[in-house]
Chains A and B, each alone.
Chain A
Amino acid sequence: MTMHTIRLPRAALLSLGLAVSMATAPAAWAQSTVTIAQGVDPDVLDPGHDTLITSVSTMLNIYDTLVQRTGEGDLVPSLATEWRFPEPTVMELDLRQGVTFHDGSPFTAADVVFSLNRYVREENPLSIRPQIAGIIDSAEAIDDHTVRINMPTPQATIVANLARYPILSASAFEEMGEDAYGQAPVGTGPYALAQWDRNEQIVLESYDEHWRGAADVDRVVIRPIPEDFIRFAALQAGEVDIIGNIAPERVPEVEADPDLRVEAVRSVRNMFVGMNPNVPPFDDIRVRRAMNHAVNVPALVEAILGGHGYPNASPCSGAIFGYDPSIEPYAYDPEQARELLAEAGYPDGFTVTMWGPNGRYLKDREMQEAIAGQLSAIGVRVEHHMPEWSEFIQHFLSGDIEGMYFIGTGNPILDCEATMGYRFDSRRGGDFYNRPELDALIDQQIQELDPERREEIFAEIQAMILEDAPWIFLYDQEDLYGVNNRIEWSARSDEMIWAYDIQLAD
């Protein structure tokens, strides 16, 4: 598509376009507004109930957390100013003083205690509970500005986790009731909710009393635009300033537009093909290794993602703590793959099913088909099952996968520990994997408070997993954003869009 070749009539008609938009949008010109497009509207602005990544991104503008993660990935004080560990399983935090909620009420220890204990409660569990259960047992107030967090065991990732638990206003919550609070949230964040037209727009206004000072941008509009094509058109037309998940083949189009640019970052999301090691043919390690030798990951990334991906033989993304950069992938060698299959008793290959979502991840369908194409060279015939996401994930979570599955692992705390919990720890449901010696290493790293020692344990874990080859190791996604040059903003690897960090270019 060559949109830029028809720039002239566009300029000529700009006055008409302006006339329409001025007549239609009597927004105050003095106010600075930035518009962000996302794929879906949040269900509810209650972090306990809605844990979808785009919803979390919206809510982290409204709520603060005890600790916050900077764009560079560092963990820095937020609502907590300092913390210490009087015992390995007890954390004490000093809270920032003089902070107020959007309704003007003061922020105190009661709000932290209320929020954390609500997220972790066992009866009537919230959607967020799996992200906090097993990490925090309970929270209690020592005084108005000091909080104690009790943990079941020492937790190396506790600080990183605290960056993901938004703090609610206990008094507003009680007064309004759970359901009303989720429609009109009260936080301490740099932006307050001004208006929410469901499936149309969320309007946030800068909260000038915020403890970090007022944000540069007065007003942020977050619009749900479900179609990729339309999000892109809205960016081109200048209606929105930031869109996520642009397709690699459209990158040149953005780069050719003088008003736009691409912001790219290595994502925390790691993509892979899992093999159920409990049933033939994948119960044989030689078969699993053969599969790895048969797939040419750099070629896939180049051909299908236009190079916008990072081949990775570790289950941990290169963007997170614990990743071992020295890890060596299986060499692409179909000949060796065929030999391994023959040794395992499959000289003519076999037929296997591959489950995977259609439309969830960047180029997921094309990727699955290309992987199947490469596997066919060693006689492995793949039968695809590619339903839409909700059907796929139900099938996947029911554990009813006999062959292979294509899926990605996100990482809310940017720490290899979360990947272990989702995929490998047999006691936390880790897919189809059950290796006591790996579980032991996982326990060891989570209780190890020295970061360097933890990295060593993770290196050991990654080597063990690579050797055992439970997956066809693929790549980390590169997140691609289209951004209007009128704003300054750079992409974060955790998929969050912090409006506070956006500035208007002069």
Chain B
Amino acid sequence: MLRTIGSRLLQVPIALLGMTLIVFLFVTASGDPVLLLADPGASDADLEAMRRELGFDRPWIVQYLSFLGDALTGDFGTSFRHRLPAMDFVLGQLPATLELAAASLVIATAISIPLGITAARNKGKPIDLVATMVAVLGQSMPVFWLGMLLILAFAVALPIFPVGGRGTLAHLVLPAVTLGWYFNALITRMVRSTMLETLNQNYVRTARAKGVPERRVVMRHAFRNAQVPIITVWGLQAGNLLTGTVVAETVFSWPGLGRASVAAVLARDIPVVMASVFVFTVIFLVINLLVDLSYYLIDPRIRQ
């Protein structure tokens, strides 16, 4: 277990180095931040002076190394758009994203796991049909479209929830459902198929044959064994969900890092882009590590 944690931790600097380098190259190669920052009437001399001031007159490798050197000391530079330390800005936007993602994960998990198990136990029956429909709809409906539908239905026609913004529990409901929709569909399908497989295993039949109550058969024998693949997918998708909040944030005018980081890319606000990439990468790695650790809790064979 310690070895796994150790090797995972070793991956952190490598992943961070790779991610920051790739993103830095793309962002610097794809545009000139100064042209976007200055008023359209700016003279060439002014543009040059701004470039010098912000350090964009240096070769990209020098810029990257200087970013890296500062980042090692925890300094990600100043957002030249927001005039704030880039990491402060990013961390200021993060709680809203975490809040939204956590709510989505809770709702989607609470629906998908019972629904998937029930569907597998009742294969071909109406409840199974419902689960299949949830899965198909969830995976085929674009997030922004779903968000718009929900707003039209539950904020405009029936004004139960606010159209957008953040602040209260009521603000959280529609964006969380929207963001968790795809995730819910995926996990429902995953739970259903994995459970179908384990329910057909010999040990399940044996358990039933020796008279173990059905509830215990399903939860203790079948679901326990289905957990490893489910958790793998759950973890990977949770990472995707957390780093993919931009569409839901935009549709619901929810403040958050997804929206802020995309805006930073469009404005070529490089310090904010780099700080966001750093934070997202760390989040992803932490989730992966947690998934690995959870295997130990679930599967005694890995523990030994």
Which one of A3, A183, A388 lies within 8 Å of B266 (CB-CB)? Answer: A388
CB distance from B142 to the nearest CB of A (A): 14
Assess the B53–A124 pair: CB atoms within 8 A.
Answer: yes
Assess the A25–B168 pair: CB atoms within 8 A.
Answer: yes
- The answer to the question of B280 belonging to the interface, with a C-beta cut-off of 8 Å to chain A, is no
- The answer to the question of A342 belonging to the interface, with a C-beta cut-off of 8 Å to chain B, is no
| Residues 1-54 of A contacting B (Cβ, < 8 Å) | 3, 6, 9-10, 13-14, 16-17, 20-21, 23-25, 40, 43-44, 46, 49, 51
Q: Tell whether A429 pairs with B36 under 8 Å between CB atoms, given A49-B83, A225-B164, A388-B266.
A: no
- The answer to the question of B40 belonging to the interface, with a C-beta cut-off of 8 Å to chain A, is yes
CB distance from B49 to the nearest CB of A (A): 5
| Residues 390-446 of A contacting B (Cβ, < 8 Å) | 390-391, 393-394, 397-398, 421-422, 428-429
- The answer to the question of A125 belonging to the interface, with a C-beta cut-off of 8 Å to chain B, is yes
Q: How many Å lie between the Cα of A20 and that of B168 in the bound state?
A: 10
CB distance from B126 to the nearest CB of A (A): 29
CB distance from A133 to the nearest CB of B (A): 7
Q: Tell whether A133 pairs with B43 under 8 Å between CB atoms, given A198-B93, A199-B256, A394-B31.
A: yes
Assess the B152–A44 pair: CB atoms within 8 A.
Answer: no
**In chain A, what residue has the closest Cβ to B162?**
A239
**Chain B, interface residues (CB within 8 Å), range:** 35 or more
Assess the A227–B253 pair: CB atoms within 8 A.
Answer: yes
- The answer to the question of A269 belonging to the interface, with a C-beta cut-off of 8 Å to chain B, is no
Q: How many Å lie between the Cα of A443 and that of B155 in the bound state?
A: 56
- The answer to the question of B163 belonging to the interface, with a C-beta cut-off of 8 Å to chain A, is yes
Q: How many Å lie between the Cα of A199 and that of B245 in the bound state?
A: 14
CB distance from B2 to the nearest CB of A (A): 41
| Residues 94-109 of B contacting A (Cβ, < 8 Å) | 96
Q: How many Å lie between the Cα of A421 and that of B42 in the bound state?
A: 11
Assess the B255–A236 pair: CB atoms within 8 A.
Answer: no
Which one of B30, B92, B160, B255 lies within 8 Å of A13 (CB-CB)? Answer: B160
Q: Tell whether A390 pairs with B252 under 8 Å between CB atoms, given A51-B39, A226-B259, A237-B159.
A: no
Which one of A20, A225, A239 lies within 8 Å of B160 (CB-CB)? Answer: A20
**In chain A, what residue has the closest Cβ to B250?**
A226
Assess the B259–A179 pair: CB atoms within 8 A.
Answer: no
Assess the B167–A199 pair: CB atoms within 8 A.
Answer: no
- The answer to the question of A234 belonging to the interface, with a C-beta cut-off of 8 Å to chain B, is yes
Assess the B53–A398 pair: CB atoms within 8 A.
Answer: no
- A-B residue pair count with CB separations less than 8 angstroms: 163
Pick the most buried of A10, A21, A234, A428: most chain B CB atoms within 10 A of its CB: A234
CB distance from B11 to the nearest CB of A (A): 32
- The answer to the question of B190 belonging to the interface, with a C-beta cut-off of 8 Å to chain A, is no
Which one of B162, B166, B268 lies within 8 Å of A21 (CB-CB)? Answer: B162
List B contacts of A10 (CB < 8 A): 157-159
Assess the B31–A391 pair: CB atoms within 8 A.
Answer: yes
Assess the A197–B39 pair: CB atoms within 8 A.
Answer: no
CB distance from A4 to the nearest CB of B (A): 11
List A contacts of B159 (CB < 8 A): 10, 13-14, 17, 237-238
Q: List 24 A-B contacts (CB under 8 A).
A: A3-B157, A9-B157, A10-B157, A17-B158, A25-B168, A44-B84, A49-B83, A125-B46, A127-B37, A130-B42, A131-B41, A178-B83, A179-B78, A183-B83, A198-B260, A223-B165, A227-B250, A227-B251, A230-B253, A390-B31, A391-B31, A393-B40, A394-B32, A429-B44
Binding site for A on B (CB under 8 A): 30-32, 35-44, 46, 49-50, 53, 78, 81-84, 89, 92-93, 96, 148, 151-152, 155-171, 250-253, 255-256, 259-260, 263, 266-268
Q: A179-B78, A198-B89, A199-B256 are in contact. List 18 more A-B contacts (CB 8 A).
A: A13-B160, A20-B170, A21-B170, A43-B267, A128-B39, A130-B39, A199-B260, A223-B165, A226-B250, A230-B251, A233-B156, A236-B156, A237-B156, A237-B159, A393-B36, A422-B41, A428-B43, A429-B43
Binding site for B on A (CB under 8 A): 3, 6, 9-10, 13-14, 16-17, 20-21, 23-25, 40, 43-44, 46, 49, 51, 122-125, 127-131, 133, 178-179, 182-183, 197-201, 223-227, 229-230, 233-234, 236-239, 388, 390-391, 393-394, 397-398, 421-422, 428-429
